[in-house]
A and B are shown apart, each in its own frame.
Chain A
Amino acid sequence: MAHGHTNTEARAAHPQASALKTGLLLTLLALLLAAPFFLYPIFLMKLLCFALFAAAFNLLLGYTGLLSFGHAAFFGGAAYFTGHAVKVWGFPPELGILLGMAGAAVLGLVMGLIAIRRQGIYFAMITLALSQMFFFFCVQSSFTHGEDGLQSIPRGHLFGFINLSDTTNMYFFVLAVFLIGMALIWRIVNSPFGMILKSIRENENRAISLGYSVARYKLAAFVMSATLTGMAGGLKALVFQFATLTDVTWQMSGEVILMTLLGGIGTLIGPVFGAGIVVTLQNYLATSDFPVTIITGVVFMACVLLFRRGLVGEFYASRIGRSLGFNPEK
């Protein structure tokens, strides 16, 4: 192929950038591998679950341009599905998470089919309304145990022989699932399909006039985002060994928006950082008397006023980021 080199060429225009990115990723990976020996593992696992949640949410907001205000339904819903499958049906943990993902996918398909034809704020309001319907379903339904929640979910044995009751084993299982989820998101974003999603985000009418059935692409992205959110939700149920109504409330849908905006929409790593900041704030402020919501609210306002692109997005767009060859998309 005479022109087969062009894409790699364009990317290699900043060789130091790709080297730097690889270096940063490897450092981050090393930190994640070493972290449980220095920090409280449950906290780290919570952080990874929310990081995956935010990254999955960003697939929709950052790369498709759809603001969902109902992602708690997929997160909390999958937690219930996984919890129920593992506790009541005796599923092994890996199958439990897959079932949670499948449940979230079905929920995503139903909500998506209803919401996808609306745009902007109407889309957000419909997803909010549908997730509230799901919340009330969870309150009433017997398998969720209502206000009590689904308690003492066993972590079980991965592939039948790795005991996940062991915290270190569990941590590395969570890390592996997180990395698989992030890899899937990276692949979707950097694929032919991902290109079409970006073009829809950039100019929907133009995408239509090029013959793309925009609604179908949006629906597919919505279901993918829901499924990956389910991955995070199912994982969280195994980490904490319970699934409660907290994870299906609209506040949870708001929290993931905050994490994503804080870190930087449309960047792969931004939501991970955003989730890290929010979860850390919540964890360390939970013990103090100061109300957490005020702090996160102030952080959010500061972010909107000062860092429009989010922390990672601002870094990419800064002089340092640019000189290193990062290319801010937003």
Chain B
Amino acid sequence: MTASAQTQSQPRVVLTARGLGKTFGGFAAVSNVNLDVHHARIHALIGPNGAGKTTVFNLLTKFLQPTTGKITLLGTDITHTKPDKVARMGMVRSFQISAVFPHLTVLENVKVALQRPAGLAVQFWLPLSSLDRLNGRAETLIDDLGLTEYRDTRAADLSYGRKRVLEIATTLALDPEVLLLDEPMAGMGQEDVRMVADIIREVARHRAVLMVEHNLSVVADICHHVTVLQRGEIIGEGDYASVSQDHRVRTAYMGTED
């Protein structure tokens, strides 16, 4: 399915940011960012290094408190909500540097994500075997993402690409409404990039995805909407075709002054 085939009717907005800004000391890392992330769409956040993409992620997920602006998730104002609460409300993020639990196995990594929704996180009096009932769901996720043969491998021993896939698996374990992926394909080989792109396209059928990505061919291929950030400000927006023709965007990327 191509991007354009899905854009006939405008799906509902699940995440919005209005006038989002963050200053560190006197430095404005992000200013006046407006975003609308839609259900069942893949929204890319692109821009040169240091443009503030990761800061925007940290603001949206509340790992950083915005200096200005307002964030709404699924109709609820989350501007002053704590990051773990935001996760429980249905917006889950990944990190630029792969975030797995290195000394736990692949299966355990996914199960840790499943424990909270299953209400099996605070029981210090139960044996570990009480978590066995999460195995079925965890293994389905592991199988879906092609990690079957690594089920009992420690996450630290996985290749870089597979760590990222595992991270997506643990994120999907929470069945989030909104998925924020910070450079999911950075440092990956061509083979892995295609696999992860397919996975993202698949998961976005039922949820909103906002992703930071440098690989523009991937963005062109799977993203419905693109927002371009430069020096903390939005300089372009739209589908990839129009954005890539934009004069300011081209300047920002190519560095050519006319």
Measured CB to CB, the residues of A under 8 A from B are 1-8, 10, 13, 187-188, 190-196, 198-199, 202-203, 205-214, 220, 224, 329-330
A3 B139 Cβ-Cβ under 8 A:
yes
7 smallest A-B Cβ distances: which pairs?
A211-B87, A3-B135, A193-B124, A202-B101, A206-B99, A211-B88, A3-B136
B132-151, CB under 8 A of A: which get 1 and which 0? Answer: 11011001000000000001
Residue of B whose beta carbon sits closest to that of A6: B135
| Known pairs A194-B128, A196-B121 / 7 extra A-B pairs, C-beta < 8 Å | A4-B133, A7-B135, A13-B152, A187-B124, A193-B122, A203-B100, A209-B87
A8 to chain B, nearest CB (A): 7
Which of these, B104, B113, B123, contacts A210 with CB under 8 Å? B113
Contact partners of B85 in chain A: CB under 8 A: 211
Contact partners of A211 in chain B: CB under 8 A: 84-85, 87-88, 92, 116, 174
Q: Taking each of B63, B95, B103, B152, which has the highest tally of chain A beta carbons within 10 Å of its own beta carbon?
A: B103
Those of B46-100 within 8 Å (CB) of chain A:
61, 63, 82-85, 87-88, 92-95, 99-100
Contact partners of B88 in chain A: CB under 8 A: 211
B193 interfacial by beta-carbon distance below 8 Å: no
B136 A1 Cβ-Cβ under 8 A:
yes
Q: Taking each of B103, B123, B124, which has the highest tally of chain A beta carbons within 10 Å of its own beta carbon?
A: B124
B219 to chain A, nearest CB (A): 23
| Chain A interface helix/strand/loop/mixed | helix
A137 to chain B, nearest CB (A): 30
Once A6-B107, A199-B112 are accepted as A-B contacts, the answer to whether A208 and B87 lie under 8 Å apart by CB is: yes
B99 A203 Cβ-Cβ under 8 A:
yes
Q: Taking each of A13, A193, A211, which has the highest tally of chain B beta carbons within 10 Å of its own beta carbon?
A: A211
B125 interfacial by beta-carbon distance below 8 Å: yes
Contact partners of A8 in chain B: CB under 8 A: 129
A-B CB contact pairs (8 Å), 24 listed? A1-B136, A3-B135, A6-B135, A6-B139, A8-B129, A187-B124, A191-B123, A192-B122, A193-B123, A193-B124, A195-B108, A195-B112, A196-B115, A198-B104, A202-B104, A206-B95, A208-B87, A209-B61, A209-B93, A210-B112, A210-B116, A210-B170, A210-B174, A213-B84
Contact partners of B133 in chain A: CB under 8 A: 1, 4
B1 to chain A, nearest CB (A): 29
B101 A199 Cβ-Cβ under 8 A:
yes
B83 A208 Cβ-Cβ under 8 A:
yes
B131 interfacial by beta-carbon distance below 8 Å: yes
Provide the bound-state CA to CA distance between A220 and B124, in Å.
10
B189-204, CB under 8 A of A: which get 1 and which 0? Answer: 0000000000000000
Contact partners of B124 in chain A: CB under 8 A: 187-188, 191-194, 220, 224
Once A1-B132, A3-B132 are accepted as A-B contacts, the answer to whether A212 and B139 lie under 8 Å apart by CB is: no
A209 B127 Cβ-Cβ under 8 A:
no
A65 to chain B, nearest CB (A): 11
B12 to chain A, nearest CB (A): 23
B132 to chain A, nearest CB (A): 5
Contact partners of A192 in chain B: CB under 8 A: 115, 120-124, 126, 128, 130-131
A195 B115 Cβ-Cβ under 8 A:
yes
B84 A7 Cβ-Cβ under 8 A:
no
Residue of B whose beta carbon sits closest to that of A9: B152
Provide the bound-state CA to CA distance between A213 and B81, in Å.
12
B39 interfacial by beta-carbon distance below 8 Å: no
A18 to chain B, nearest CB (A): 14
Contact partners of B131 in chain A: CB under 8 A: 7, 192, 195
Once A3-B135, A196-B112, A198-B103 are accepted as A-B contacts, the answer to whether A208 and B84 lie under 8 Å apart by CB is: yes
Contact partners of A5 in chain B: CB under 8 A: 132
Provide the bound-state CA to CA distance between A196 and B135, in Å.
16
Provide the bound-state CA to CA distance between A187 and B129, in Å.
12
A15 to chain B, nearest CB (A): 15
Q: Taking each of A1, A2, A209, A213, which has the highest tally of chain B beta carbons within 10 Å of its own beta carbon?
A: A209
Q: Taking each of A5, A6, A188, which has the highest tally of chain B beta carbons within 10 Å of its own beta carbon?
A: A6
Once A6-B107, A198-B104 are accepted as A-B contacts, the answer to whether A190 and B84 lie under 8 Å apart by CB is: no
